[in-house]
Amino acid sequence: MKSIQVMVVDDSAVVRQVLSSVLNAASGIEVCCAVADPLLAIERLKISWPDVIVLDVEMPRMDGITFLKKIMSERPTPVVICSTLTEKGAKTTMEALAAGAVSIITKPKLGLKQFIVDTSDDLVSAVKAASKANVRRLAVRAEAPVAVPQAKNSADVILSAASPKAMVQTTERVVAIGTSTGGTQALEEVLTALPRVCPGIVIVQHMPEKFTAAFAARLDSICQIRVKEAQNNDRVVPGQALIAPGGKHMVLKRSGAQYFVEVLDGPLVNRHRPSVDVLFRSVAKSAGANALGLIMTGMGDDGAAGMLEMKNAGARTVAQDEETCVVYGMPKEAVKRGAVDKILPIGVLHREIIQHGN
């Protein structure tokens, strides 16, 4: 089986060396070249083209965003962004994701070498996920890296399963969305199509800590609905979407006829924090038939078990179809488990949300 060919573009010699070492040590991956800036990368691309590009966004001579846009317009290629854990870095990374990047790998300003070695599983998983990306979808629109720890917890470590009895319906409706690789572009497409009046929405997008606030702010600036990073005890109200903060789980709670969210710490679930399974289980418990669940593009199986719990509790459940997914992993697993009522292309998912509120 042919190895995934990777190009590393970063102005730090240390980063290039460490990233190359980690990737070359992984099964099925080979770094074909590592260069200091996009102009050198462009010269190498004239000789051979990689399967995946790992790209820094802040570089001399040409910045990563300009290079990314050039790549996506000329020959769409899966790109993993390697960004610093800073507010400025988060904002720039949002631009990169909007321009067609598949996912994010973070790096600190200090202790870089050890940090990258410690998080090598994240890097390898992100590159492997990117290699499977539907680049046609990326090009049309132009996440989150996939964390892989040693253990794979279920939602049991955060909250118990819903009882078989579905929640009694009220007039308050809620929409729960789960997504990962390719999800930043997918969420933009769905949320920007919504009118100002629609059911309250809760979202888990696999994304590193510090990046979800910038992502929510960007969506808020281009959507008719309000979009914000969730804070503890935020109410779920019509015309607003709450995005789980990176590094925290988010659960739906109910008080009378009203819904609100709790943001909490806890172990990784299904290899993620926030976890879609945790959110979906809480929706099954607190909303039942009042809920609509959407599972969208992403690698892995996070959300499949939770969506089945939602369906069993009386919720309507929808999966994004393979044709319009960047990575058809999470929806595929949900379909496989019998958790999905409908499979639909991304272009009509906003209609399901609107209809749920009527």
Segment 83-103, tens digit of pLDDT = 876 666 788 888 888 888 998
Q: What percent of the chain has pLDDT over 70?
A: 88
**For range 288-308, the mean pLDDT:** 96
Instruction: Report whether pLDDT(111) > 80.
Output: no
Q: Which of the pair, 298 or 147, is modelled with greater confidence?
A: 298
Element (H, E) at 5: strand 4-9
Q: Judge whether 149 lies within some domain.
A: no
**Six-digit token string for 216:** 């929510």
Q: Say whether both 134 and 61 belong to one domain.
A: yes
- Strand ranges inside 133-290, DSSP E: 174-179, 200-205, 226-229, 235-236, 240-243, 249-255, 258-264
Q: Which amino acid is at 123?
A: L
The C-alpha torsion from 213 through 203 and 327 to 7, rounded to 10°, is 10
Model pTM? 0.86
Beta bridge partners of 7: 33, 53
Q: Which of the pair, 10 or 152, is modelled with greater confidence?
A: 10
Instruction: Report whether pLDDT(166) > 50.
Output: no
Instruction: Report whether pLDDT(284) > 70.
Output: yes
Bridge-based pairing state of the strands 200-205 and 240-243: parallel
Q: Say whether both 28 and 62 belong to one domain.
A: yes
The DSSP 8-state label assigned to residue 168 in this structure reads: P
Domain of 135? 4-141
What is the SS3 assignment for 225? coil
Contact 44, 122 (CB under 8 A): no
Q: What is the pLDDT of residues 304-336, one digit of tens each?
A: 999 999 999 999 999 999 999 999 999 999 999
| Residue 302 annotated among the catalytic residues of the structure | yes
CATH of the domain at 92: 3.40.50.2300
Question: Helices marked H in 75-225 — which ranges?
Answer: 87-98, 112-118, 120-131, 135-141, 183-191, 212-222
CATH of the domain at 209: 3.40.50.180
Q: Say whether both 232 and 112 belong to one domain.
A: no
Q: Say whether both 197 and 333 belong to one domain.
A: yes
| Residue 154 annotated among the catalytic residues of the structure | no
CA distance 315 to 174: 10
**Six-digit token string for 309:** 């719990």
Q: Which of 103, 125, 206, 249 is catalytic?
A: 206
CA distance 97 to 27: 27
* pLDDT of res. 143: 35
* pLDDT of res. 165: 45
Q: Say whether both 105 and 163 belong to one domain.
A: no
Q: What is the pLDDT of residues 209-258, one digit of tens each?
A: 888 999 999 999 999 999 999 999 999 999 999 999 999 999 999 988 89
- Categorize the per-residue pLDDT at 82 as very low, low, confident or very high, splitting at 50, 70 and 90: confident
Q: Say whether both 228 and 113 belong to one domain.
A: no
Q: What is the pLDDT of residues 167-178, one digit of tens each?
A: 444 558 999 999
Angle between helices 38-45 and 64-74 (to 10 degrees): 20
Sheet holding 200-205, edge to edge: 226-229, 240-243, 200-205, 174-179, 291-295, 316-320, 342-344
* pLDDT of res. 276: 97
Q: Which of 83, 131, 180, 282 is catalytic?
A: 180
Q: Which of 10, 56, 302, 321 is catalytic?
A: 302
- Categorize the per-residue pLDDT at 140 as very low, low, confident or very high, splitting at 50, 70 and 90: low
| Residue 180 annotated among the catalytic residues of the structure | yes
The number of beta carbons lying within 10 Å of the beta carbon of residue 328 is 21
